[in-house]
Amino acid sequence: MNITRWNVMTGLYGTYLVRDDEEDALRLPSGDREIPLLVADRRQ
C-alpha cells in the first residue's frame, strides 16, 4: 500500500496518449475528449 509514487518513478505504472499518422487522418476528437491508455505492472 501507498507505494504508487515509487511505481511511477520506476516506470511500473504510466498513462499514455497513443498517437500516430493513421489516427490523425481519422480526425478523431482530441484534447479533453481523448481517453488515456493506462499501463500497470500488477504482478506481486
Q: Residues 15, 36: contact at Cβ < 8 Å?
A: yes
Residue 8's SS3 state is: helix
Decide the pairing of beta strands 37-40 and 13-16.
antiparallel
pTM given for the model: 0.38
Q: Phi, psi (5° rounding) for residue 16?
A: -130, 145
Q: For 10-22, b where at least 16 C-beta lie within 10 A, e where not — what string? A: eeebeeeeeeeee
Q: What is the pLDDT along the chain (44 residues), one digit of tens a residue?
A: 567 666 666 666 677 777 889 988 988 888 888 888 777 776 66
